[in-house]
Amino acid sequence: MIKGFGLVVRFTLRDDQAARDFDELIDRTAAGIRQSEPGTLAYVVHTVPDEPLVRVFYELYADRAAFDAHEQQPHTRHFLTERDRFVTSTEVTFLTAHGGKFPTETAE
């Protein structure tokens, strides 16, 4: 059975300045994730063509425990505290892996 725990988050930002500030917050947060979260398999932030005030996050974790550990990291706590200054709405969809290719898989 394939393991993995993921989510997609869609943020709508207040205005252009909020978008720039939010992007800087993302950059700082992602640096912490890269340095200290081996259970975070993918943490990707997307912009949306023709929707400059939208950011979509795709996050994939080895399992629910890895996600829970991510949520407790200082850089993530900082992000969760600060993001509301820039955001007008947040939509979260939690995902359970069903199939596909994972970042650590190799061809046989």
The pLDDT tens digits of the residues spanning 77-105 come to: 999 999 999 999 999 999 987 777 766 65
Tell me if 30 is assigned to some domain. Answer: yes
Tell me if 59 is assigned to some domain. Answer: no
Domain that holds residue 19: 1-50+71-88
Look at residue 68 and tell me whether its pLDDT is greater than 50: yes
Q: Model pTM? A: 0.88
Sign of CA dihedral 92, 97, 98, 99: positive
Q: Which residue, chain included where needed, has tokens 């399992």?
A: 63
Number of domains observed in the structure of the chain: 1
Rounded-to-integer distance, Cα 44 and Cα 59, Å: 6
Tell me if 93 is assigned to some domain. Answer: no
Q: Which residue, chain included where needed, has tokens 């640096």?
A: 31
Encode pLDDT of 27-66 as tens digits: 999 999 999 999 999 999 999 999 999 999 999 998 999 9
Nearest in space to 34 (alpha carbons), one of 2, 76, 82, 83: 76
